Amino acid sequence: MALSFEELDVGHRVTTPSRTITEADVVNFAGVSGDFNPLHTSETVGEESDFGERIAHGALVFSAMTGLAQRVRDRRAEVVAFYGVDRLRFTAPVRFGDTIHVALELLEKERKEHPTASGVVRYDAEVINQRDEVVLSCELLSLVR
């Protein structure tokens, strides 16, 4: 069961399970998002790029992060709604076959008047690959019970 606003302590840390980003993920994300940037979809362009191969969309990695965070909701706040994101940075490419996980740390909580929520929590979030490289960092804000 998810934690309530009152049960959360600043500094609380959670690490998610991992998942591997595949070519199918990238192809499906391109179809859903309409982002067919050749850096993600063309082997030739990928090979000629600074990365030497195709890479995953940054927005795909962000979306995978939110999905991974849901997998540990029993150790996080009970989220009513996504409230926002601050300081989003893509710090390294995610290559096909990279395995990522998310490290979350509760930075702050703020009470809010809301009919179904108690407040807003701010998490420091880092997406980390199998080489322990941070590939994405941001602050996630959630409206919680």
Q: State residue 77's pLDDT score.
A: 74
**Phi and psi at residue 105, to the nearest 5°:** -135, 130
Is 35 exposed, middle or buried (CB count within 10 Å of its CB: 0-12, 13-18, 19+)? Answer: middle
Structure tokens at 39: 């850096």
What is the CATH classification number for the domain harbouring 102? 3.10.129.10
* SS3 label, residue 81: strand
**What residues does 128 pair with on adjacent strands?**
101, 134
The pTM of the full predicted model, rounded to 2 decimals, is 0.94
Residue 145: band (very low, low, confident or very high) from pLDDT cuts 50, 70, 90: confident
Q: State residue 24's pLDDT score.
A: 98
**What residues does 139 pair with on adjacent strands?**
86, 124
User: What does the alpha-carbon distance between residue 127 and residue 135 come to, in Å, rounded to a whole number?
Assistant: 6
At residue 114, what is the residue type?
H
4 is a domain residue: no
Residue 10: band (very low, low, confident or very high) from pLDDT cuts 50, 70, 90: very high
User: What average pLDDT does the structure give for the chain?
Assistant: 95
Q: What pLDDT, in 10s, does the model give residues 56-105?
A: 999 999 999 999 999 998 777 788 899 999 999 999 999 999 999 999 99
Structural domain harbouring 46: 13-144
User: What does the alpha-carbon distance between residue 143 and residue 145 come to, in Å, rounded to a whole number?
Assistant: 7
28 is a domain residue: yes
Tally of domains in the chain = 1
Q: What pLDDT, in 10s, does the model give residues 21-35?
A: 999 999 999 999 999
5 is a domain residue: no
